[in-house]
Amino acid sequence: MIRLDDVTLSYKGRSGEVTALRNTSIDVKRGEFAAVVGPSGCGKSTLMKLVTGLIRPTSGTVSVEGQIVTGPVKVAGMAFQNANMLPWRTVLDNVMLPLEIVQPHRSRFRAEKAAYRTRALDLLGVVGLRDFADRFPWEMSGGMQQRASLCRSLIHEPALLMLDEPFAALDAFTREELWAVLRDLWQRLGFTVVLVTHDLREAAFLADTIHVMSARPGRIVESRSVDFPRPRPLEVCYEPAFTDLVHQLRGKIAEVRQA
Ligand code: ADP
State the Cα–Cα distance between residues 104 and 177, nearest whole angstrom.
33
Ligand 1 atom with minimal separation from the 46 CA: 6
Q: Any idea how long the chain is?
A: 259
CB count in 10 Å sphere of residue 165: 19
pTM, full prediction: 0.93
- The continuous run of DSSP H or E covering 193 comes out as strand 192-196
Residues of each domain in the chain carrying CATH 3.40.50.300: 2-75+159-258
118 has pLDDT over 80: yes
| Model pLDDT for residues 189-214, shown as the tens digit of each residue | 999 999 999 899 999 999 999 999 98
Q: Are 133 and 121 in contact (CB under 8 A)?
A: yes
| Pairing outcome for strands 209-213 and 33-37 | parallel
Say if ligand 1 is within 6 A of residue 4 CB: no
Q: How far is the CA of 41 from the centre of ligand 1 (A)?
A: 6
Closest CA to ligand 1's atom 7: 45
Q: Which residue lies with its CA nearest to atom 17 of ligand 1?
A: 20
Tell me the backbone φ, ψ of residue 215, rounded to 5 degrees: -60, 165
Q: Closest residue (by CA) to atom 22 of ligand 1?
A: 11
pLDDT in tens, 1-52: 999 999 999 999 888 999 999 999 999 999 999 999 988 888 999 999 999 9
Task: Using DSSP bridges, classify how beta strands 192-196 and 33-37 pair: parallel, antiparallel or unpaired.
Answer: parallel
Q: How far is the CA of 170 from the centre of ligand 1 (A)?
A: 23
Question: Given 3.40.50.12780, 3.40.50.300, 3.90.230.10, 1.10.1200.10, which CATH number is that of 2-75+159-258?
Answer: 3.40.50.300
Q: How far is CA 227 from CA 145, 152, 153, 161, 237, in A?
A: 31, 30, 27, 21, 13
Q: What is the pLDDT of residues 129-148, one digit of tens each?
A: 999 999 999 999 999 999 99
Q: Which of these, 139, 141, 132, lies nearest to 95 by C-alpha position?
A: 132
